[in-house]
Chain A
């Protein structure tokens, strides 16, 4: 008798067929090596502001260690209603239009599951965050990728969406400032997209986790445009602007009916976000401007340095206007994005992420995060220079 149980054929087929994230795959290789300078890290290198950490310790001492409301602490939702109104330009009722989640990732999952029936199509732009396609598939939706290009600054246009929309299109997903390209959308760009969404009666999910991190022009949220609030789920969190990735804290704002639907899934699967993280977030919102402003200045200087260095090296790189990523083209070196990244890693010990981790159209690009010290960036540039000055053909 064969004692082994074959699980492969019993797994959910969607889960079985989705590959692991290309980033994980790359991390496994990098983590076996020493003295690597990493431009592959998708989180801030700043510490969580000390007042936030200190207040988390205080919350622990005071015993904030219990379940919270499914929606999250009301004091946090009230603070968020003020913050979102001020920074993103949309008003939400903290009682029933804001849901605190375990990171934006959970919020995105909830929004898709709350909206999609099997076969509903979701328009999203690539290159994009690694989870989008998988999350749509898990929610039984049909992912429809819209390719963005460097010639247009990786911005999304109405024409690109028109070309991919069908009668089954239900949801449009946006992520600006964008990971991995650093692209942002102007108000005029967004007005076109908004008109398209209204005419087609689409629901919009906008992931604005990098909303505070723009360097040359202020961020505009699509939710602040006329007519969009009623059809949009706005997603944001504390990971980037406050360097709180490990706290796993995000939130969704939207019309009460939709938030209620998302809350039901959250209630039965997650119950609530961590009480301590929520307390930390209340403190973070107590003085957001001071924390964020200096961070933005520092990122801007690093961006200028890194992108300037790429151009001096003759590496084509569109100017990233937000987030903390540069997305240079490496196609002229005659290697695939993955081979370029692997060889750069093995020969010069610099980790960058192949663009294909963010969608097929990321071929020929690599993502370089400048969320690392200037010293690291300088050393990485030196090594990249050495790397590309050698003959690269396989």
Chain B
């Protein structure tokens, strides 16, 4: 993978000037490459990774395993894309194994998520069954540990 993308994945807020210095190219070239990635849809967005527990946001996240019937012509794509369009669904994956789709669904309350499952998701044509697991506590999200890093124990000067 392009080293520039790796750096942006680690910190999307890094300035083009700093990126340029690290990669030994000009800042103008960095900006152009980023724009190109955005235009081509390789970079699909930038987000902050929050520690919502610390923020005290009341939120419920459920992981839902869904069994579906693949449709003629569209296969799994048609039903998966239909489900993905619900704003409550934050992530959706086609899986191998005992179920077909894995969804991450967010709501303000347990009831909100439950009603999404029973009133929106389950009645969809092609959805055979669902199995809902509520998330209790996140430890690591998007490669970032949610607890505070342990302090640097290295001596401040060493040979």
- Interface residue ranges of A342-394 to B (CB < 8 Å): 351, 353, 357, 374, 378
Closest to A37 in B: B156
The answer to whether the Cβ of A304 comes within 8 Å of any Cβ in the partner chain is yes
Contact A305 B157 (CB under 8 A): no
The answer to whether the Cβ of A40 comes within 8 Å of any Cβ in the partner chain is yes
Q: Given A129-B159, A378-B18, does the pair A41, B154 have CB atoms closer than 8 Å? A: yes
The answer to whether the Cβ of A42 comes within 8 Å of any Cβ in the partner chain is yes
Closest to A312 in B: B21
Contact A26 B22 (CB under 8 A): no
- Interface residue ranges of A287-341 to B (CB < 8 Å): 297, 301-302, 304-305, 308-309
Q: Given A45-B152, A45-B154, does the pair A23, B22 have CB atoms closer than 8 Å? A: no
Contact A38 B159 (CB under 8 A): no
- Select B7's contact among A31, A43, A301, beta carbons within 8 Å: A301
Q: Scan B125-159; emit 1 where CB is below 8 A from any A CB, else 0.
A: 00000000000000000000000000010111111
Q: Scan B1-29; emit 1 where CB is below 8 A from any A CB, else 0.
A: 00100110000000000100111100000
Contact B21 A43 (CB under 8 A): no
Contact B157 A304 (CB under 8 A): no
Q: Which residues of B contact A129 (CB under 8 A)?
A: 159
Contact A23 B158 (CB under 8 A): yes
Q: Which residues of A contact B152 (CB under 8 A)?
A: 45
The answer to whether the Cβ of A59 comes within 8 Å of any Cβ in the partner chain is no
Q: Which residues of A contact B22 (CB under 8 A)?
A: 301-302, 304-305, 374
Expressed in whole angstroms, the minimum distance between the Cβ of A384 and any Cβ of chain B is 15
- Interface residue ranges of A21-47 to B (CB < 8 Å): 21, 23, 26-27, 30-31, 36, 38, 40-43, 45
The answer to whether the Cβ of A130 comes within 8 Å of any Cβ in the partner chain is yes
Q: Which residues of B contact A301 (CB under 8 A)?
A: 3, 7, 22-23
Q: Given A297-B3, A304-B24, does the pair A21, B156 have CB atoms closer than 8 Å? A: no
Q: Which residues of B contact A267 (CB under 8 A)?
A: none
Q: How many residues of B contact A (CB 8 A)?
A: 15
- Select A309's contact among B21, B157, B158, beta carbons within 8 Å: B21
Q: Which residues of A contact B24 (CB under 8 A)?
A: 304
What class of interface size applies to chain A in its complex with B? Answer: 20 to 34
- Select A308's contact among B21, B156, B157, B158, beta carbons within 8 Å: B21
Q: Given A297-B3, A301-B7, A305-B18, does the pair A27, B23 have CB atoms closer than 8 Å? A: no
Expressed in whole angstroms, the minimum distance between the Cβ of B28 and any Cβ of chain A is 16
Closest to A376 in B: B152
Closest to B20 in A: A308
Contact B159 A131 (CB under 8 A): yes
Q: Which residues of B contact A305 (CB under 8 A)?
A: 18, 21-22
Closest to A130 in B: B159
* 6 cross-chain pairs, A with B, having the tightest CB-CB distances, nearest first: A40-B157, A301-B22, A27-B157, A308-B21, A42-B158, A38-B156
Q: What residues make up the interface of A, taking CB atoms closer than 8 Å to B? A: 21, 23, 26-27, 30-31, 36, 38, 40-43, 45, 129-131, 179, 297, 301-302, 304-305, 308-309, 351, 353, 357, 374, 378
| Complex A-B: 29 CB contacts under 8 Å | A21-B159, A23-B159, A27-B155, A27-B157, A30-B156, A31-B155, A31-B157, A36-B156, A38-B156, A40-B156, A40-B158, A41-B154, A41-B158, A42-B158, A43-B158, A45-B152, A129-B159, A130-B159, A179-B159, A297-B3, A297-B6, A301-B22, A304-B21, A304-B23, A305-B18, A305-B22, A351-B157, A353-B157, A374-B22
